[in-house]
Amino acid sequence: MSRTLLVTGGNRGIGLAIVKGLAQTQEDTILLGCRNLDQGNKLANEIGSNVNAVELDLSNQEVLKKNIESIQSQYSIDVLVNNAGVLDSGNLLEVSFEGILNSTQINTLAPIQLIQAFAPKMIEKGYGRIVNISSGWGSFGEGLTGPFAYSTSKAFLNGVTKSGAQSLPANVKMNSMCPGWVRTDMGGPDATLSPEEGAETAIWLSNLPEEGPTGKFFRAKEEISW
Ligand SMILES: NC(=O)c1ccc[n+]([C@@H]2O[C@H](COP(=O)([O-])OP(=O)(O)OC[C@H]3O[C@@H](n4cnc5c(N)ncnc54)[C@H](OP(=O)(O)O)[C@@H]3O)[C@@H](O)[C@H]2O)c1
């Protein structure tokens, strides 16, 4: 079966590595979600003929709604990778309220909006995979030790996975994952993993077989604690 896979924040970092990895399967169409369509088109052309750039700005509900409608007019999404994310720094007392709203919008509310938009068609078709790129900093089990807005928005995203997967049929799977500490603009130059290594678990979850897991949290393809 040839599939259409959408990766948010596909223009750099882990998202770009996910797009490149998924594009190895020639019969699939990969949609590189990005805010700057000129940059996205250039990247898509470089990667391969099965990659197309689509405009996807997660900053605001109305703009995202228009972006989603434009995608739906051209494509039927089988796999959604919620990768785009931001890291607002500071603890509860330091971070601005705007920073909390921004993190929650991009890291959690926009993924929910995308899931609500694309999951019904997956259910209708009897096939779907949703991958929510979270973080160990969003794990209660690991102590929620990251910056406040980041940790809480990723914990919320994990809640979306755990609670939301229960509303989906078994053939539409939704999982969370932590990519590890990855050398990107967000992770910085000292991080231990390359973007390609950080993308591996997301690619694996995008390609889960019928008997694969749903409603779980992974790192390096191993289940981890919420
Ligand atoms: N790097 C790590 O060590 C690490 C660890 C754990 C989890 N993660 C998670 O992995 C994911 C990817 O991180 P990364 O390290 O690749 O980050 P990155 O290099 O900073 O890239 C972030 C991506 O998100 C996009 N983005 C940000 N705000 C957006 C918005 N309002 N609308 C649409 N796209 C937006 C960016 O697009 P623009 O270019 O347009 O800004 C970019 O494509 C994130 O969810 C992050 O939380 C990363």
Judge whether 165 and 214 are in contact, CB under 8 Å.
yes
Give the residue numbers spanning the domain of 194. Answer: 4-223
For ligand 1, say whether the CB of 178 is within 6 Å of any of its atoms. yes
Per-residue pLDDT band for 150 (boundaries 50, 70, 90) equals: very high
Mean pLDDT of 152-171: 98
Query: For 50-86, what is each residue's pLDDT tens digit?
Result: 999 999 999 999 999 999 999 999 999 999 999 999 9
For residue range 122-142, what is the model confidence (pLDDT) as tens digits? Answer: 999 999 999 999 999 999 999
Q: Percent of the chain having pLDDT more than 90?
A: 100
Residue 200 has pLDDT above 90, yes or no: yes
Active site residue 150: yes
Centre of ligand 1 to C-alpha 42, Å, is: 19
* 104 ligand 1 Cβ < 6 A: no
Question: Which CATH number goes with the domain that contains 59?
Answer: 3.40.50.720
Model pLDDT for residues 79-110, shown as the tens digit of each residue: 999 999 999 999 999 999 999 999 999 999 99
Percentage of the chain with pLDDT > 70?
100
Q: Which residue among 150, 156, 217, 218 is the active-site one?
A: 150
Taking 90 as the threshold, does the pLDDT of residue 14 lie above it?
yes
Are residues 23 and 47 in contact, defined by beta-carbon separation less than 8 angstroms? yes
Mean pLDDT of 174-184: 98
The CA-CA-CA angle for residues 41, 185, 78, to 5°, reads 50
Q: What is the DSSP string of 131-160?
A: EEE--GGG-TTTT--S-HHHHHHHHHHHHH
Q: Would you state the structure tokens that stand for residue 69, as one six-digit string? A: 């409608």
Whether residue 84 has its Cβ less than 6 Å from ligand 1: yes
d(CA 74, CA 41): 16
pLDDT of 1 strictly over 90: no
pLDDT tens, residue by residue, 21-53: 999 999 999 999 999 999 999 999 999 999 999
Query: Which ligand 1 atom is the nearest neighbour of the CA of 137?
Result: 6
pLDDT for position 147: 98
Q: Is 142 in the pocket of ligand 1 (CB under 6 A)?
A: no
The per-residue pLDDT of the chain, averaged, comes to 98
C-alpha 161/C-alpha 2 separation (Å) is 25
Query: How many structural domains comprise the chain?
Result: 1
Q: How far is the CA of 124 from the centre of ligand 1 (A)?
A: 30
